[in-house]
Amino acid sequence: MIFETNANQIERLDQSQLVDLLRRLIQAELNKNSIPLRCGTAPAQITIADGGDDARVSWSGGPNETDWLPSRFTIFQSKKGATSPAGLKAETQTKSSQGTDAPLLNEALEKAISQSGAYVVVTSTPVVGTNLDRRIKAIREGVSDTGNDPTLLSSIQIYDCNRLAAWTNTHPSVALWLNALLRDVHLSGFQTFEDWGRAPEISEIEYQQNDDTRFVAKGREIQTWKNEDASISQEKSFDEIREVISTFLTARGNAVRIIGPSGFGKTRLVHQLIASQVALPQDVLSENQIIYCLYADVKDRLPNIAREIADTGSRALLVVDDCPDQVHTKLSDTVHRDGSHCHLITIGVETKAQGMRRNLIVELNAASNELIDHIAEATNKQVSEKNASLIRDLSQGFPRMAVLASRALEGGDEELSSVETLISRIVWGEHEIDQSAFESLQVLSLFTIVGMENHVAKELEEVANYCGKTARQMYKELQRFAERGVLFRQGDYGEVQPLPLAMRLSNQWLESNPAGTLEDLFRSLSEEMKLKMVGRLRWMSWSEKVLRFGRALLSEALPDEAALDSEFGSKLLDRFVHLAPDATMEHLGRLLSGKSIDELVAFDTGRRYAIWALEKLVFRRETFDAAARLLLKLGAAENEDWSNNASGQFTGLYQLYLSGTEATPEEKLVVLDDGLADANERVRKLSIDALNRMLETGHFSRTGGSEHIGAREALQDWQPTTYGEILNYYRAALSRLEQIALDTNDPNHRTALNTIGSHLRSLFSNVNLLDEIQAMIVRLREAYPGWHQAALGLNNWLYFDRNDADEAYQQRLREYYDELLPTDPLEQIHYYSSGWATDIHDPDVSYDREGDNDHHYTENKIYALVVEAPNEAQYFLPLLDRFLEEPTNSGWIAVVRIARHVNEPLNLLRHLLESMTPDSEIAVVSNLVRNVISGAAQADRNKGLECLELALGCQSLSTSSIEFLASAGLDDALMQRAIEFVQNDTVEPHQVSVIAFNDVLQTVDQGLIELMVSTLLDKQANGAWAAIGFLAHVLYRIAPKERRLLQSLKASVINPSLFDKPRYSNMDWYHWCDLVEKLFEGGHVDDLFSLELVDFIISVTSVQEYNVQLSFDDYAQKILQQLIATSPGLVWEKYHEARTALKGRALYRFLRLFEARVGEPSAPGVLNDIPAKIYVPWMLEEKEERMPFILDWLQLFAEEKKDRQWNAKFVSFVDAHVDRPERLDTLRSRLTTGMWCGSFASKLVFRLVNS
């Protein structure tokens, strides 16, 4: 991590800084583990007189300990300078009793012992190796000398500079604070809360707030939250929005996006949210957790750093200012990683993330005149009443504009005659007006951010050329405005801000130039600068000149479809929507509406921005009809696969809430009815999908941003205001779907029928619709006698939803369920087979979240119905026909039971085979055949074998032969046939998995199993991996015994063909590793096999595809470690043999195979367990060259990561063989925390002084 701390930094802290660090660490640790902050105390005093502790924690509930708090009750004592055993022993006793015959235990330790707590000594000096043990022993002796029992303490720890550095690095916000405090590490743009607060725009003016309700919470999560609090989506005051954000981050999600125009006060809002401390046990907006950055300062480094912060598990609040929307989306995924306690607040102008899960959007509206007045007065207390009015007019609700205007009046408050006069004061102050420079500023105001220096200076050059100036001249003219705060510089770029000022300046330029000047400027620009210009003009959409510009340039800039079907053309169109929406829709219609669906499929490059343009146009009631019709055609010609593609946007228009349009249901249905009547089936299908969206009753969401067009107020989605409007909306969808469903000549009739069925459960909750729904169901059941979805939907309502209705309504629907149930036994079997085994429930039982729910209801009902039925196969043939025609999820349960029940299951099978046609789905028929064979064999093996022979004789089903054998129950004869099927390629090798269960060892001769494995091994890579999968299942939870599959097993795991598979699943090498470990556990790895296994593993480095080794490495290292444990000399010899022989790419990959895990350079390498008696003599032969090799893989730290104690083996090696500091230089690349800073000499000096 870029602001990672090290032990040397801890050593440099003075005592007060050490206590401050300890306080922050304790708070961060409590926060990370959701323990109230009040449970930890760390006084600001450097030492506490004779009490014994400088900090303590005490909590109940939650974990018994954390990574760094060893007990629920822990005492911390901070020590100045170096510690010694004698000094620490004395500290356990009161000062007055030290050195006496009857020493007394200090008060803090008394308390710790009484609570069975922990005692932790904190020191900024290093304590390593045996010195640690000697000091802990001294503390124990000190406690014992007072007559107390030190074993009553749960733990005695010493946190030295190494461990404090390691602890600090588990909390990125604390690590950032420490690095900022010491000022010796470049933090690459990241700041603490304190540093952020030093920015002039924050520190110079006190944050102003009143009762303005200018903050609105939005997004998908708000729609769910509204079910608990209907007011949550209303405009909020500052205090209210702070509570909303804090509550959200505590319980609902980890990411917040703050949006609003530049200058609306977003950054000040976020800073004040954190600065306004509240007395909460767990405040997620705590300043101690803040890591702030401006996106432009961190850019490409941010995603990896955010992931590192999230993966620490520590609580941190990452604030990213001026953050692009797509970056917010990526960071949101990062902070929601498993185990993350990192929260995110990003600040930006807009967002499309409103549909994201676990994200909160907070939008700022314009400030009220009252708040603008407060800001102006706070900036300049001498502002007169008249000038305050001018400031309000100019600010247009922008707080930053109010600050800028007020500062322009400093030094004198003479009455200003107009807003234009105030603008002049802002721009020039007391300086003399320079008309040429002023024109440069006005022209620059017409663009969003413009490149001014270095490789992007060509953008300023374009503007300068138009103005008849050189780029250098214009740059010099503009520089003075940066000093005035009018030109905002961001790296090599500049932008005129705040926005209201830029718009005033732009308008001044427009009004002072003849008609057509804006058009001439546009024509002179490059594509990128054209986009920047039109993007800025969005905020002047109220200007008649801008409107005329938009209308005039559309056709010229986008003359044909080819121009539109480009990245530039489509981006330009999307921006023109803000200037002239009516003209843009008309022009877009001319370009695309006449195209056929097939022609629109080829509309590709420009599609994305064209869809975004249509999102906005379809929101406006005035352009809805044309935009929706074009969206429908583009959706029918879909060529994108994300949710907000054309088809997704079109169907979203028809959801009840958050539809993304002002259009009324009547206006929407006009478009939809035309789509349903269209001759193109793709258009009709999408229209039916829209009917499906009309019936949704919850979980509404849409992407944000399309409601903002130009500088106008945000558009509002149409939504129902009465219950009657809701019911009419559902009626409109149902009537159209029913009409389609009842027309069996319509190719979409089944889709419509299933759509109705899928929504019946939620529709049953509408009491006032029930009569109409029941009447519709009658009509549909008459047309489709075997249609069970009505009963399934009601069954689910009774199980999950009935408790939300009154008893009378519950009883009515319970009785109705009995009416819907089929009366014919075969129909009943089909009904209970129509869903998954757990889809249908007892209609008299409700779901119990905490109880033991019956998951066998369906199975038991099928069994009971079959038992009561006749034993003749003929009786069940109509049901088999139904299963052939319409496969169901639980049909197999019924067919197996029927085959067990009938006298002649062979007749069932004959019927299935005779019913096959060239159009039959082989998979469906094969499954039913397997079920018949299985049921017949369960009742009578001979009958099962008869069915098997008949099935195997059907050539069209030969690819399922192995499955048929498995269904009959494997024996030696059937196993032999299975082997033959593999040998002659009747089946694919992987299909043998259906017979790979450990009971096969009891039913099949071992020789045949070994023959199956050897047969598979002859089938190259597919067979090699089929053998691994087969053995993994056969030997699941079983250890291979002597002479039982051992040779087959060994041959399988060292088969070179294992490296030839094109793509590996996550479980492939896991199964391989598990099988090899079984051989080790059983003691079946002899010298010969060890040699073969090492050679096999090393050979992966020569495989052409590196991905093979990447998937294999972790498992290979586990087995290499097992080999080292049993044959260390062999592995050592083979390692050096291969290292000498391999060259180039193969050598690099070989070394990678034996290295520590990726991302953990301080972890030991594979060779770490080689005994010292092997590698030390080898090293001493050529110590200078060979010691770095040993230090590359030797284990540095003890197993516990949090301890960061030096490993005893490593310390012994250093003490015995390191004779000068430079020998340890090779460790630099391995050490990230817990390191010596400087040289080995500092460790030696410390050891000598404290020994």
Q: If you write DSSP's letter for every residue of 388-408 in order, what string do you get?
A: HHHHHHHHTT-HHHHHHHHHH
Instruction: Output phi, psi for 981, to 5 deg.
Output: -60, -35
Q: Which of 1180, 1108, 1118 is nearest to 1149 (CA)?
A: 1108
Token pair, residue 64, equals 């018994």
Q: Which of 579, 430, 445, 433 is nearest to 501 (CA)?
A: 445
pLDDT(410) > 90:
no
pLDDT of residue 186: 58
Separation of alpha carbons 915 and 920, rounded Å: 9
Q: Hey, which residues does 93 pair with through a beta bridge?
A: 105
pLDDT in tens, 1024-1051: 999 999 999 888 877 777 666 888 999 9
pLDDT of residue 50: 46
pLDDT(1081) > 80:
yes
Separation of alpha carbons 51 and 768, rounded Å: 73
Residue 581, preceding peptide bond in cis (omega within 30° of 0): no
Highest mean pLDDT, choosing among 62-71, 178-187, 319-328, 662-671:
662-671
Instruction: Give yes or no for a contact between 446 and 509, defined as CB atoms under 8 angstroms apart.
Output: yes
In order of 251, 410, 1124, 1153, 1175, the CA distances from 1129 in angstroms are 56, 84, 8, 18, 10
Contacts of 116 (CB under 8 A, 6+ apart): 71, 73, 152, 153, 154
Instruction: Output phi, psi for 102, to 5 deg.
Output: -130, 70
Write down the CATH number for the domain with range 188-365: 3.40.50.300
Instruction: Give yes or no for a contact between 54 and 47, defined as CB atoms under 8 angstroms apart.
Output: yes
3-state secondary structure 850-869: CCCCCCCHHHHHHHHHHHHC
pLDDT of residue 678: 97
Q: Which of 914, 961, 907, 955 is nearest to 935 (CA)?
A: 907
Maximum pairwise Cα distance, the chain: 111
pLDDT in tens, 299-342: 888 888 888 888 888 888 999 999 999 999 999 999 999 888 89
For 618-651, the DSSP string reads HHSTTTHHHHHHHHHHHHHT----STTSHHHHHH
Residue 87: alpha-carbon gap to chain centroid: 51
pLDDT(248) > 80:
yes
Q: How confident is the model at residue 1251 (pLDDT cuts 50, 70, 90)?
A: very low
**Residues composing the chain:** 1251
The C-alpha angle with vertex 406 and arms to 403 and 410, in degrees rounded to 5, equals 130
pLDDT(53) > 90:
no
Q: What is the mean pLDDT of residues 933-960?
A: 96
Burial (CB count <10 Å: 0-12, 13-18, 19+), residue 677: exposed
pLDDT of residue 308: 84
Token pair, residue 740, equals 């389609």
Alpha helices in 642-748 (DSSP H): 646-652, 665-676, 681-694, 723-742
Q: CA torsion 175→179→185→187, rounded to 10°?
A: 70
Instruction: Give yes or no for a contact between 76 and 56, defined as CB atoms under 8 angstroms apart.
Output: yes
pLDDT of residue 336: 93
Q: What stretch of H or E contains 912?
A: helix 905-914
> What's the mean per-residue pLDDT of the chain?
89
Q: What is the mean pLDDT of residues 397-413?
A: 71
Q: How confident is the model at residue 278 (pLDDT cuts 50, 70, 90)?
A: low
pTM exceeding the 0.75 threshold for the entire prediction: no
- Give the count of beta carbons closer than 10 Å to the beta carbon of residue 1100: 21
Q: What stretch of H or E contains 827?
A: helix 825-833
Q: How confident is the model at residue 1074 (pLDDT cuts 50, 70, 90)?
A: very high
Q: In what order do the strands lie in the sheet with 155-159?
A: 40-41, 55-58, 73-79, 118-123, 155-159
Say which residue, 51 or 398, is predicted with more confidence: 398
Say which residue, 99 or 1015, is predicted with more confidence: 1015
pLDDT of residue 1158: 60
Q: How confident is the model at residue 221 (pLDDT cuts 50, 70, 90)?
A: confident
Separation of alpha carbons 456 and 440, rounded Å: 18
Amino acid (1-letter code) at residue 800: F
pLDDT of residue 604: 94
pLDDT(1139) > 80:
yes
pLDDT in tens, 1086-1114: 999 999 999 999 999 999 999 999 999 99
Separation of alpha carbons 272 and 264, rounded Å: 14
Cα atoms found within 13 Å of the Cα of residue 1248, Cβ hemisphere only: 6
pLDDT(412) > 70:
no
Token pair, residue 1080, equals 């080790």
Q: Which of 42-56, 388-402, 517-531, 609-623 has the lowest mean pLDDT?
A: 42-56
pLDDT of residue 430: 65
The C-alpha angle with vertex 269 and arms to 441 and 38, in degrees rounded to 5, equals 155
Burial (CB count <10 Å: 0-12, 13-18, 19+), residue 1132: middle
Contacts of 538 (CB under 8 A, 6+ apart): 575, 578, 579, 710, 711
Sorted by where each begins, the domain ranges of the chain are 7-173, 188-365, 558-719, 748-821, 824-969, 986-1084, 1166-1250
Residue 824: alpha-carbon gap to chain centroid: 50
Q: What is the DSSP letter of 414?
A: P
Q: How confident is the model at residue 1245 (pLDDT cuts 50, 70, 90)?
A: very low
pLDDT of residue 1250: 39
pLDDT(249) > 60:
yes
Q: Is 254 helix (H, G, I), strand (E, B) or coil?
A: coil
pLDDT(650) > 80:
yes
Give the start-end residues of each E strand in 98-236: 118-123, 155-159, 190-191, 215-218
Instruction: Give yes or no for a contact between 741 and 752, defined as CB atoms under 8 angstroms apart.
Output: yes
pLDDT of residue 1042: 60
Separation of alpha carbons 482 and 492, rounded Å: 13
Q: Which of 590, 660, 672 is nearest to 625 (CA)?
A: 672
CB-based burial, 595-626: b 16+ in 10 Å, e otherwise = bebeebbebeebbbbbbbbbbbbbbbeebbbb
Q: Is 280 helix (H, G, I), strand (E, B) or coil?
A: coil
pLDDT(1248) > 50:
no
Could you give the percent of the chain with pLDDT greater than 90?
A: 62
C-alpha torsion sign, points 1139, 1142, 1148, 1150: negative
The C-alpha angle with vertex 346 and arms to 340 and 347, in degrees rounded to 5, equals 170
Q: Which of 1053, 1158, 1145 is nearest to 1103 (CA)?
A: 1145
Could you give the percent of the chain with pLDDT greater than 70?
A: 93
Q: What is the DSSP letter of 709?
A: -
pLDDT of residue 215: 93
Highest mean pLDDT, choosing among 414-418, 824-828, 1198-1202:
824-828
Separation of alpha carbons 429 and 902, rounded Å: 101
Instruction: Give yes or no for a contact between 830 and 888, defined as CB atoms under 8 angstroms apart.
Output: yes
Separation of alpha carbons 543 and 498, rounded Å: 19
Q: Hey, which residues does 1197 pair with through a beta bridge?
A: 1206
Burial (CB count <10 Å: 0-12, 13-18, 19+), residue 357: middle
Token pair, residue 61, equals 């509930």
Q: How confident is the model at residue 996 (pLDDT cuts 50, 70, 90)?
A: confident
Contacts of 456 (CB under 8 A, 6+ apart): 492, 493
Burial (CB count <10 Å: 0-12, 13-18, 19+), residue 227: exposed
Q: What is the mean pLDDT of residues 187-205?
A: 84
pLDDT of residue 184: 58
Token pair, residue 736, equals 């159209």
Separation of alpha carbons 393 and 419, rounded Å: 7
Amino acid (1-letter code) at residue 517: T
The percent helix, strand, coil of the chain (3-state, each to 5) is 60, 5, 35
Q: CA torsion 958→963→964→968, rounded to 10°?
A: 160
Q: Which of 842, 839, 819, 824 is nearest to 888 (CA)?
A: 839
